[in-house]
Structure 1
Amino acid sequence: MMNVTVAEIGAPPAPVLLQGLWDGVRLGQRQLLLSPYLPACCAFLTHVALCAPFLLLDALGSVSLRVQSWRIAAGSGPPPSLVQWLECFWRVLFKYASTVLPATALVQLLRSPDLPERAPSCWTLSLEVAACFLLFDFFFFSWHYCIHRVPWLYRRVHRMHHQHHIPFAMAAQDASSAELLSLLLLALLSARLLSCHPLSEAVFHLLNSWLAVEDHCGYDLPFAVHKLLPGMGGAPHHMSHHKRQNINYAPYFTHWDRLFGTYRASA
């Protein structure tokens, strides 16, 4: 029997494009989709791929005045070197291979995979992705607030991430193994609690990776997401958190920080 989510009630039929895309992936890559290693591998590879444009920007930062004008911390020294990027890359890779990959694989093996025949409509996909971001933003804010306010948690889980007072793109996942695992599980939990279609979940994880990288990139780009959508903090918002640590706990939106009095506008 075909499962129908609440979001699909009254929604238009799935577009041919999404249905064709989903059929191609579901039938052609079924074993890959059911692999317990998929979430961790996709999270790491997507992160590395999305960091590449910012590595180029850092390389251009020493010769391009336009790129220099986009840097938030322009007066705090040059962009990170290639050596710093590589050191960060190897640290993240080790933590994924040693902890995140086996732990998330175990979680995936314990749940029942679901590959529905029908693709979501564009409306359903958009609604599910938006709902995932709102729920994940709440989970992240709550967890992030706790690990800053509880000294033991900060030392054991989060302090490693704050070695970067001026973060850069690759540093978005330069954290302890416990923190990396917790954030990936929160993202998976958000999609699972909302019973999202696998295609919606994939789009959510892709955009989530991009926003995390953009938040840490160190650039206030003219086409950044926070300049296109209201209510989002972006890289300046998160840079303020890395500098002061007791403000701007939410990852993307600003409403939870405003509600709890921890919001500070970026300078």
Structure 2
Amino acid sequence: MTQVRVFETIWEVCQTQDSVLQPLWDYMRLNHSETLRSPLFPVILTVASYFVLCVPYLVCDMVGKKWPAIYQYKIQPNKLPTTAMLLHCGGVTLYNHLLLVFPAAAAQWLWRPPVPLPEQAPTLLELAGGVTANLLLFDLQYFIWHFLHHKIRWLYVTFHAIHHNYSAPFALATQCLGGWELVTVGFWTTLNPVLLRCHLLTTWMFMVVHVYVSVEDHCGYDFPWSTSRLIPFGVYGGPSKHDVHHQKPNTNFAPHFSHWDKLFGTHADFSFAETQ
């Protein structure tokens, strides 16, 4: 089978009305309906995903130079997070979730009826398109938010400065945020799939992917399998570009992609990152 035929076959599978995801969706819908319909489910999904996805990078940081095959990809090799830094970020994250995220989810549980589960699963094309559209919309929203919070001193000092305590980001610093920022990010993450009228499976996939790329952006490692290396033409920022933002705070405001920073002249390549 030629390469062209392979891509044609994949395209046909993605477009088919009988989604290959249907058996998975049927199993989830028929066996775990009450769990999936709960307003708490998306919160538990994203929080659990966050801590699970942080673990591999935390292991890399703890092993450090003893693991040269991995440590060679450290963007700032002489700036490993200390125990105190890890405890601080972990404490801020737990504080925000216990005092803001979970109470908000519980309040939502009281007034919002359980969501209905559609019988049909999304096609692979709908799933991929929905996740991409949500990431692009969030990228625009956060670029504007982030730019304003760096340019207006009161907003920066009051809400965003805590995230810039560290010039060399690491995975657990991803959600080391002020409460206002965490609520804003959560609001967009929840609202955008509704605005784009996404299937619930697409919504949950977007949430997990969004957590993954956010953790990856802050991980401090530029691995060969990093998203920015897998997506061609430099359209995606990735961990190196976000590392530059933490060293040069007036650059690279977009959380994931590169086009807004390039358009508004705030883009900086990772070559600006200098190890000390």
After TM superposition, is the score higher than 0.5?
yes
Q: Which residue of 2 aligns with 1:194?
A: 196
Give the alignment of 1:32-111 within 5 angstroms.
32-75=35-78, 77=79, 79-106=80-107, 109-110=111-112
C-alpha deviations, 1:31-59, integer Å up to 9, x for none? 22222222322222111000011011112
Distance, in Å, in 2 between the alignment partners of 1:55 and 1:81 is: 11
The answer to whether the 8 A contact 1:216-1:235 is kept is yes
C-alpha displacement of 1:96:
0.5
Q: Which residue of 1 aligns with 2:260?
A: 256
C-alpha displacement of 1:199:
0.5
The answer to whether the 8 A contact 2:39-2:112 is kept is no
Tell me whether 104-113 or 158-167 shows the greater mean CA deviation: 104-113
C-alpha displacement of 1:190:
1.5
Q: What letter corresponds to residue 24 of structure 2 in structure 1? A: L
The answer to whether the 8 A contact 2:138-2:188 is kept is yes
The answer to whether the 8 A contact 1:95-1:177 is kept is yes
Tell me: CA distance 1:143–1:114, structure 2 relative to 1, closer, same or farther (3 Å): farther
SS at 2:251's partner residue?
Answer: coil
Percent of pairs with identical residues: 35
C-alpha deviations, 1:179-218, integer Å up to 9, x for none? 1111111111211110000001111111111100000000
The answer to whether the 8 A contact 1:36-1:106 is kept is no
C-alpha displacement of 1:84:
3.3
Q: How many residues align?
A: 255
C-alpha deviations, 1:16-75, integer Å up to 9, x for none? x41111112122222222222223222221110000110111122121222222111113
Tell me: CA distance 1:148–1:107, structure 2 relative to 1, closer, same or farther (3 Å): farther
Q: Which residue of 1 aligns with 2:154?
A: 152
Tell me whether 58-67 or 156-165 shows the greater mean CA deviation: 58-67
Q: Which residue of 2 aligns with 1:7?
A: none
Q: Which residue of 1 aligns with 2:7?
A: none
Distance, in Å, in 1 between the alignment partners of 2:91 and 2:213 is: 22
C-alpha displacement of 1:265:
1.0
Pairwise CA RMSD: 1.9
C-alpha deviations, 1:147-193, integer Å up to 9, x for none? 11222211221111111211100110011111111111111121111
Unmatched 5+ residue regions in structure 2? 1-13, 272-276
Q: What letter corresponds to residue 219 of structure 1 in structure 2? A: Y
Q: Which residue of 2 aligns with 1:173?
A: 175
Q: Which residue of 2 aligns with 1:135?
A: 137
Q: With the length of structure 2 as denominator, give the TM-score of the two structures.
A: 0.86
Q: What letter corresponds to residue 101 of structure 1 in structure 2? A: F
Distance, in Å, in 2 between the alignment partners of 1:50 and 1:264 is: 27
C-alpha displacement of 1:83:
4.8
Give 1:14's match in structure 2, choosing from 14, 18, 25.
18
Tell me: CA distance 1:203–1:86, structure 2 relative to 1, closer, same or farther (3 Å): same
The answer to whether the 8 A contact 2:37-2:114 is kept is no
Q: With the length of structure 1 as denominator, give the TM-score of the two structures.
A: 0.89
Q: What letter corresponds to residue 16 of structure 2 in structure 1? A: P
Q: What letter corresponds to residue 233 of structure 1 in structure 2? A: G
The answer to whether the 8 A contact 1:100-1:177 is kept is no
Within the alignment, does 1:219 sit opposite 2:225 as a pair? no
C-alpha displacement of 1:253:
0.4
C-alpha displacement of 1:142:
1.2
- The structure 1 segments of at least 4 consecutive aligned residues displaced by more than 6 Å after TM superposition are none
Distance, in Å, in 2 between the alignment partners of 1:93 and 1:69 is: 31
Unmatched 5+ residue regions in structure 1? 1-9
C-alpha displacement of 1:112:
7.1
Tell me whether 145-154 or 232-241 shows the greater mean CA deviation: 145-154
C-alpha displacement of 1:82:
4.3
C-alpha displacement of 1:263:
0.6
Distance, in Å, in 1 between the alignment partners of 2:188 and 2:228 is: 22
